Chain A
Amino acid sequence: MESLSREPDVSVKIGSLVLPNPVGVASGTFGYGQEYRELVDIDALGALYTKAVSVDPRVGNKPPRLVETPSGLINSIGLANPGLAVFLNEKIPYLRSLRCPVLVNVVGETESEYTAIVEAIEKRIGTFQEGTKSPVDGYELNLSCPNVEKGGMAFGTEPELVERITWKVRKLTQRALIVKLSPNVTDISQIALAAEAARADAISCINTVVGMAIDVKTCKPLIARGIGGLSGPAIKPIGVACVWKAARAVRIPVIGLGGITCANDALEYLLAGASAIQVGTAIFSNPRAPLEILEGIKAWMRERHIENLSQIPSLLDFPSWPRALTPCAGLKPPQTRF
């Protein structure tokens, strides 16, 4: 009976990094943490995934950049960020003060930009020591942003490119390396396998779904760039399916995101095979959502006497297809270079 009162273990291991809990805040919705520090107890988060960092500053796309659609939000921010130099000099000092794991979302127009960013950050924060908190605890490679002309999603839809970029970055860091995948692909399992082959520690899926909305009065698209990335509850089923497929294709942890607004949404992702989750658009509506979701997950685990997060995927009551029959069956694993 003793075990009933025990607090469930909600920690998650991503490569060499241990997340204290599975609930992170998704890149692009939380800035570099400072903007929300008065509203959210950031130290209690499972992870903070920063706004993307590019080598040069990016002003972003022309406004309007946002439109709310049924159960969703289309955005076309265009990876607006102050660039690597400002990140190193002005954002790292603040990130250093945080107690929660910090994963830097990295974006580039070329492969060398991805490596340049990781190299510069590694140089700034010093040698990796397992179990020691550093201002940056890992990287999330953004190979899936739909809102830019070059780079972003253009990389994330080609397994060979995903494998090559991931491997180039892998050689630069022992810190946690996560590859963020796009749902705008024929089969996400292939991309997931490519990331795994290049020794990514985890994959996160999904980034936004390409979407468009048009004003029938003016006959113009509602965002300046025409198409943008759809997020919010509208894409949750797409995200859950992608996680389910990806988790059956790879052995590394899958981090689920897309439309999570409450604990039940998060549990859907965990049951589909996610090891951790991220909350994005829901933060805009309720900045306390991530910590409320964490409490909800723990309550669900206590109710069912689940001691460990890793037990959740096995609870999915659905035939566990043999690997040979999974949707990625017959796929030749990508060529590895190790």
Chain B
Amino acid sequence: MTAVKAPAPEQQAGGGLVTAVKGRLQQLLAFASLLVIYAFFSFASPYFFSYGNFTAILFSTVVIGTLAIGTTFVIIAGGIDLSIGTGMALCAVMSGVFLTKLGLPLALGVPAAILFGGLMGLINGINVALLKIPPFIATLAMMLVAEGLALVLSDSAPIYFNNVPGYTDISTGNLIPGVEFPNAVLILLAVALMAGLLLTKSVLGRYTYSIGSNEEATALSGIDVRRWKIAIYCFAGLFIGLAGVMISARLGSAQPATGMGYELQAIAAVVIGGTSLSGGKGSIVGTLIGALIISVLNNGLQIMSIPQEWQNVILGCVILVAVYTDRIRKKEA
């Protein structure tokens, strides 16, 4: 056997820098398109470009953004989570149950609702990692279970938080005195920072990438892939819980039937942000940009009085363009 000549090392010199730039390219592209869209609406409508509308856009990003951050972990690990939308509604209902029906104090009830999301994630993780049910099916089942449970536990009626002082402040209050900047956005930024740190610096994050890159190689490297997959789904579940708290705090009520559809918006945000659905690649910054693009589009189109139906058409096209450019970029790399 004569053998292949290896690529000369000189050809690869400077490859480190090139890879570094290429790795960030999708994020840069996404960020550039966010700016372009923002600039477009600023010129197209006199009402778009203002501080008030800026914070409004950020505020409307919170729920999708929170869900998308958790889902980013799952998708980078090569999985998918369809249960986040109705799961969020269930966690909102649970928050209502803990705070109004059981009368728990805020400092207990809110963490309990978030942990309930973690429990859902744990069950998803067990179904996927131990019972080997494909993630799509396992979380589809959880999506239906959560939708039903939310209605059962709330008797199909909204639960109002009128008697829970301070609950809506979690979302709409202003922690920074004298500045109109909603707490919800601060919370989103804080969890995004934490998630970004965990994804890039922690063992959990490193294994998330490893499992998504090559699950078999990771397992053969002596890493208990099943355990870490459960941990990843469970961790992502905490974000379902948090989103449930955030949406109910914003509305002042837990709406048991509102969750469906959020999962697809969140997955769209993740994908627009450059995370690969085949796993192994992605970032929290990208996901945040993806979520912002969706919000800016929704907000701008609304301000321009374009009907809701058309907004979805445009969002669908944006997803196609985003994923297609990602494909082209990968082919060139």
Physical interaction between A and B? no
